[in-house]
Structure 1
């Protein structure tokens, strides 16, 4: 049977039909009495069953799209809080993007045949960038993140872009320890992009980081990224991102020259801003661009943002080998805190006996020693439960 492609007339209705079938599968799963108590083995088995059903169909336009939908089946099955990761919307975004990129590629066919250039000297300035929008408290984990950049990047400047300076003792400590290296830059929260209203503060930060890099060049990092060694080898490329998934790149750390063509295309993608999709523009679009223009970007497969947001337990409850070949560790602390049944508050004191990879990382950066200290009642130090 001939494979149905996006340009065929019947494709639209087949995609709609398959989307309906997919939604039905999700509904059946959600109604199962065992749904919320499934073991990891049962979840994986359920995922395999759905995968077999979907892969046996020729209704999805191409292999990439099948993989994309299957990835999101597992994500939805595992945790139904991912309301903004809608497979149908993401699939539509990918297909529409593919059509637009096909036209762009035709117009720039010579460009797509060039190879990725590794420059003989660093062309990305050694500047660390952070964004901070809104009035909230600067936590201990934020302090560890920014101190790690100062310690291992040895940046010429740390530019802290904010509309409201942080609060708290740890912010005061950061200013004291960073000294003249820290520059606090007043910056308004982006409210629109290409005349599209931005729906979430996180999306505003996504846009701001691209605009900042276009103005200055340098290395943007989220405040849950911990730097473990010099990033100078990556500064020899015009643009660098880390792999988040098979079809997505993570924007929690971006290395870019201010004249990067990939950066320009990435920002231009916000002309079609999806305000109902959490990661279409920020993660999926650069992933697609990397496939269309491999000559414009260097992708670090495992050394920047692994483990993934699905595996935060490896960092916060386990012993992930963070010392093995990583430039940075993206801790995904917000994801972990949102998933936790209890409130967690890390401090310079209680982190001494947090016997996990995250404890080791914090002690390594803040105290200069990754070893932990045994205390008599560690649970009382870390966990404060809500009173019903």
Structure 2
């Protein structure tokens, strides 16, 4: 009987070991990072949003210095005076955003078509209304003007875009933390999604979705390119609401409040044009109306003419209708974009910077920008941590 019991015991232990081995093999073969996206697990510790399961290190282009902070000493006084990036600082934990899931903007409005819609997997009730809703235009203008000509309303336009990238997140977050707008209006034809969108709508209580389709014609002329549709839509947005239009890869570096006293503001990119990636306008400004009327001669074959050359020519004719910043919204310019991608440009005099992401082949995240020794890295750290210096960890 003892031998039979010992045999059964050995058999049971053997089967248990085989089962355990099979389970370990199964776990080792499972790819927990099977996709290019970050897997997001939100854990609430004192209302802080944490990122876990960070993605693999991105492959960077040649001449881009990725992680150079490990051998550096700490910056004196906690930051670097110059622009040499030869010291490092202790950065905040990349747990960036306070959870405010139940705190949404409560507009005291009488507009009947103002509704709350649950947005995707974020389960956040996001306010939204139609672009043509004049009642909401009037309400927002009244509540957000703050005694300035340009109301503190920020506009983004997303046509045909569903999933937000890190750079989209960075742009909106820069507006939220630096400009502190009354509202952020996200105009678009699709519901936005992805972990970065979830982050934004959970953390920023004053995002409002504006439902609108891309314009198909202007003055009876067909518009085929989505970029040109967005060019027209941004003029309509600042004309009808007033406010600040931002391209989704334009990053704000300092508050635009000193410029809100002007009826209309653009910045040079080159000496012969005015960029339309950041527009500041009072409601129904004379300059934006004249610019819009120039689209009667729109030619879809010519790239950038009505969006950048026409406003420059109008500024020569009507200089009293526009305030012009010299490259302070777009510096470096398109021809010098490698200064953004591969070098460290001193942007301390900029109000904003255009990243030209359509020409950049690499995606970044909250982890790798901590040590990314380029303009993109310093800009991201400025927005996320309040300083440009390389992180020590």
Query: TM-score normalised by the shorter chain: which range applies?
Result: 0.5 to 0.7
Q: Distance in 2 between matches of 1:327 and 1:303?
A: 6
- Whichever structure has more helix as a proportion of its residues is 1
The answer for the alignment partner of 1:273 in structure 2 is: 298
- State which structure, 1 or 2, has the greater radius of gyration over its C-alpha atoms: 2
Aligned-residue offset at 1:296: 0.6
Q: Which residue of 124, 145, 148 corresponds with 2:150?
A: 124
Which residue of the other structure, out of 160, 169, 172, is the alignment partner of 1:143? Answer: 169
From 252, 256, 261, the counterpart of 1:231 = 256
Structure 1's consecutive aligned runs of 4 or more residues displaced over 2 angstroms after TM superposition are 367-375
- Matching residue of 1:350: 368
C-alpha deviation, 1:373, in angstroms = 4.1
Would you say the 8 A contact 2:270–2:327 is kept in 1? no
Which runs of structure 2 are paired with 1:276-315 in the superposition (5 Å)?
Answer: 276-315=301-340
Deviation digits for residues 75-114 of structure 1, max 9, x if unmatched? xxxxxxxxxxxxxxxxxxxxxxxxxxxxxxxxxxxxxxxx
Aligned residues: 248
Aligned alpha-carbon RMSD (Å): 1.6
CA distance in 1, matches of 2:161, 2:169: 16
Q: Deviations over 1:35-89 (max 9, x none)?
A: xxxxxxxxxxxxxxxxxxxxxxxxxxxxxxxxxxxxxxxxxxxxxxxxxxxxxxx
Name the stretch that deviates more: 283-292 or 358-367. 358-367
Question: Separation in 1 of the partners of 2:337 and 2:272?
Answer: 20
Shift of the alpha carbon at 1:214? 1.3
2:242 and 2:261 map into 1 onto residues whose CA distance is 13
Q: Give the TM-score of the pair, scaled to structure 2.
A: 0.61
Q: Give the distance between the partners of 1:313 and 1:374, measured in 2 at CA.
A: 26
| TM-score, normalisation: structure 1 | 0.62
| 8 Å contact kept, 1:121–1:236 | no
For structure 1, the 5+ residue unaligned runs are: 1-119, 338-342, 376-388
Equivalent-residue separation in structure 1 for 2:328 and 2:388 (angstroms): 20
Partner residue in 2 for 1:361: 379
Which of 352, 355, 358 aligns to 1:334? It is 358
Give the alignment of 1:18-37 within 5 angstroms.
none
Residue equivalent to 1:259 = 284
Task: Pick 1 or 2: higher relative contact order, CA cutoff 8 A, min separation 6.
Answer: 2
Alignment of 1:17-56 (within 5 A): none
Shift of 1:374: 7.1
